[in-house]
Chain A
Amino acid sequence: MMVDVQKMEQFAENLAAQEEVKGRSLLADARRRFFHNKAAVVSLIVLSLVVVFSVFGRTIAVWSNEEIDWGILGQIAELGAPNIENGHFFGADQLGRDLYSRVIQGTQVSLMVGVVGALIAVIVGTLYGAIAGYTGGKVDNVMMRFVDIIQSIPYMFVLILLLVVFGRSLFMLFVGIGLISWLDMSRIARGQTLSLKNKEFVEAAIATGVKPLTIILRHIVPNLLGVVVVYATLLVPQMILTESFISFLGLGVQEPNTSWGALINEGAGNMQYGTLWQLVFPMFFFIITLFSFFFIGDGLRDALDPKER
């Protein structure tokens, strides 16, 4: 067989010139898998748009969220409909306030509640679960029994009790949601820790005399992050749902502050007067955001945990 010498030389040269072949890291693999998931990518774009809307939407607003448009007050059903000309892009609410600005405000509050609730869950839940799982034995038993007990309490009722007793403020809402959001996370973190703590790298760390707390923080927690991130993405919509639930009942954020739940409640209370836009706009943002978080969470789970498929 004839060997094309020229071609071979060329090939050798190419090889020599080429730099080291780049290995694909686990993270790059995960990223590739995530971006192959169309639903997740679309959701990511939608969610980014919602965030951009909540941050920069104010700049094109004509009315602030507290101003009352006296010109249309009392005739909201006839004059308050969504209208580009008078600046009420989403229409006006029953008090003549601009719904566009109100929806932006509600979006900010709801997203913030979701993210803060999930953050508390990540920090407290991961540490709690990792400590319980790593320590094991009696400590583990007591710590997880405590989680069991708190979890079987109907927290929504306790949360409402908490809000009524200590006053309905955004801060108390954060405290109340933070108190319950970490429970599931701690179980997940504990389960992962149990399977990690007998791995060789942990044994090596123990053998070299690393303190338990350092092992948890430096060796266990970083390995939990994949699961934690996935679960946190799925927690955000749950927190938003909880907050909206309470605000829908009128027990959450108080006027002039608002959130999706409060806006949906107002819309639902006024829909028999024909001001449907009051229901449609907050509900639209609520639904697309929740959808996005669910799909992103699913996409992340598939991307970070390929064996689960």
Chain B
Amino acid sequence: MLSYILRRVAIAIPTLLLLIIISFLLMHAAPGGPFTSERPLPPAVLANIEAKYGLDEPIYVQIINYIGGIITSFDFGPSFKYKDRSVNDIISTGFPVTLTYGFLSFAVAVIVGGALGIAAALKQNSWLDYFAVGISVGAQVLPNFVMAPLLVLVFTLWLGWLPGGGWNGGQWNHLILPVIALSTSYMASIARLTRSSMLEVLHTNFIRTAMAKGLPYRVIVFKHALKPALLPVMSYLGPAFVSMITGSVIIDMYFSTGGIGQSYVNSALNRDYAVMMGITILIGGLTILFNLIVDILYAWVDPKIRY
């Protein structure tokens, strides 16, 4: 087990380094430096500024300095656009917002999707089952950027029940639409996965044995069937987390919640490469960490996994 964990960590670290190097090289390849503007600076001044920020060093030194800054002091450097704000400032204002509704959406997707899937499997071919299957088919073509405008159209423009954007310190009514828009398609996928794996488990021999020896239905479902049925669902959580984080960009943009997705797109439109890089690396790091946790959990739960 320990060697498995170490091996997984040993893959995670080069992945993160590769991500940092790729984004750094991409940024370096971009036309125009951070200090090019419409009125060109005198070459001597430019050289001075570049020396101050270490931009006159060879590129590998720059990369090492950048990585060193992240490791030693979690410093992603200054923004290229806003002279008085560092990348850290921008991340620390937006990240709590993204984290709040991201966590809620993830919880909703897992809990509602899992419950719906289990209920559908237990009552196969009932109206509940058809409802769950219908939702999971329909939600495949309702990604967050389709859900978001539809929700705003119905609940804000027509019914006027909920605000169509803004954050307002995370008040509950500002949270509902973003969470629904972000979680629906994952909830549907989780429901579909849970349903099919639960059905599969319910038809195995050990469940038949449990039935034959007269265990109460509740015990069979929750004690015997649930754990193996949730294994495939667990391996979906990693990818789901990644694409939810990606989806938060849409939510931030559409609902103007002020999360890091909004900073990301704004910096993309402004060519503020430092901010883009900082956010890419932060999210990459989170993704890798989350995948690591899921893999280790999976190995821990499923005894069939060979280390």
Contacts and interface: CB of A to CB of B under 8 A. Distances in A.
B264 A158 contact: no
A160 B149 contact: no
A261 B250 CA distance: 12
Interface in A150-193: 152-154, 156-158, 160-166
Interface residues of A, number: 39
A281 interface: no
Given A154-B280, A245-B250, A161 B140 contact: no
B250 A149 contact: no
Query: Which of A148, A149, A267 has the largest count of B CB atoms less than 10 A from its CB?
Result: A149
Contacts of B18: 149, 153
A291 B139 CA distance: 10
B284 interface: yes
Interface of B: 11-12, 14-15, 18-19, 22-23, 26-27, 29-30, 137, 140-143, 145-146, 148-149, 152-153, 157, 242, 245-246, 249-250, 253-254, 264-265, 268-269, 271, 273, 276-277, 279-280, 283-284, 287-288, 291
B268 A245 contact: no
Q: A-side binding surface: helix, strand, loop or mixed?
A: helix
Contacts of A161: 23, 26-27, 268, 276-277, 280
Query: Which of B271, B280, B283 has the largest count of A CB atoms less than 10 A from its CB?
Result: B280
A154 B287 contact: yes
Given A164-B268, A164-B276, A294-B140, A286 B283 contact: no
A166 B26 CA distance: 9
Contact of B283 (A157, A271, A290): A157
B14 A244 contact: no
B256 to A, nearest CB: 12
B29 A165 contact: yes
20 contacts: A148-B11, A149-B11, A152-B15, A154-B242, A154-B280, A157-B279, A157-B283, A160-B268, A163-B268, A166-B29, A245-B143, A251-B268, A264-B145, A264-B149, A271-B149, A271-B152, A272-B157, A279-B149, A294-B140, A294-B141
A90 interface: no
Contacts, number: 113
A158 B23 contact: yes
Given A149-B14, A290-B140, A157 B145 contact: no
A91 B13 CA distance: 53
B20 to A, nearest CB: 11
Contacts of A153: 15, 18-19, 22, 284, 287
A271 B246 contact: no
Given A148-B11, A165-B29, A264-B145, A271 B140 contact: no
Query: Which of A166, A244, A248, A287 has the largest count of B CB atoms less than 10 A from its CB?
Result: A248
5 residue pairs, one from A and one from B, having the closest CB atoms = A268-B149, A290-B141, A156-B246, A157-B280, A165-B30
